[in-house]
Amino acid sequence: MLLRRPPKPGLRPFVKTLWASDPTDSPRSGGAERERVLPTGEMHLVFRLSDQPLRVYDSAADPAGRTLGYAIVGGVRASFYVKDITQPVRSVGAQLHPGASALLFGAPAGELAGRHTPLGDLWGASATEARGRLVEAGDPARQIDLLESLLAARLPRVHALHPAVAHALERFATDARVGDVVREAGWSHRWFIALFRRAMGLSPKVYSRLLRFQGAVRRAASDQEASWADVALDAGYSDQPHFNREFREFAGVTPGEYRALSPWLSYHLPIRPGRR
């Protein structure tokens, strides 16, 4: 079961979605023990409420991996990561908007990008206390309500994105070129890149590429009959080889391999035994 809802109005400038999952009825993918988690261009906060801490691997073939804990901030990233899925895990979390990082965690998005950070490194003992309260809440709906309250309590005053970054996000959603957006902002290229990276955790160019990739994943997941040529064209890729290179870079698999895996969730790809 996956329960998902938007936050209340006061949190909407900072939090995109709140969610809670109970894996009791979730399908397992052919006995897979690991999965690739594809990049979404967003920062995530996750509390794992079962007894299994998050374990990630440097690659699909990494035999050891690293155990990170029960409360984790996933920074924005431009590549997939591999995690352990051997045991079902109850969890609650949030997808965060640009600009929330400094307010909620006391660190700009750029400092947390591309890695997982234990929440205790950012919140101290409050992270353990928060997880304990979420475990006690029991019901997924109550857990979401409690997480919403915990996040709201860490926002003492309203902040907004820098207007240049807000403008860039609107323009990038329409496939605008980075150079055009920089000129529209009226600032130097170097200044704009630094400002955008601080807010988003990625450079404008990488962020734009990630948006295009996401469009391809959404189309492929929603229309299983669509040809890859049509998917690439609709997403804005210049040609099929360009699309194939970008897809492999972000997902770690080819488009054909992605479709063959038939993921239950479009951004979570099971890694079959013997195919690492």
pLDDT in tens, 31-65: 789 999 999 889 999 999 999 999 999 888 898 89
Would you say 99 and 161 are in contact if contact means Cβ atoms under 8 Å apart? yes
Which amino acid belongs to residue 143?
Q
> Domain ranges in the chain?
2-152
Could you tell me the pTM of the whole model?
Answer: 0.77
**Residue 232 Ramachandran class (φ > 0 left, ψ -120 to 50 alpha, else beta):** alpha
| Backbone phi and psi for residue 157, each to the nearest 5 degrees, phi listed first | -155, 160
Q: Which residues contact 54 (CB under 8 A, 6 or more apart)?
A: 46, 48, 67, 68, 69, 70, 72, 83, 84, 116
Would you identify the CATH topology of the domain 2-152?
Jelly Rolls (2.60.120)
CA angle (108 as vertex; 107, 113 as ends), nearest 5: 100
pLDDT in tens, 75-115: 999 999 999 999 889 999 999 987 789 889 999 999 999 99
Of 32, 1, 4, nearest to 269 (Cα)? 32
SS3 104: helix
pLDDT in tens, 218-262: 888 888 888 999 999 988 898 899 999 999 999 999 999 988 887
Q: Which residue has the tokens 């051997």?
A: 86
Please report the pLDDT score of residue 154 as a whole number: 87
Would you say 48 and 70 are in contact if contact means Cβ atoms under 8 Å apart? yes
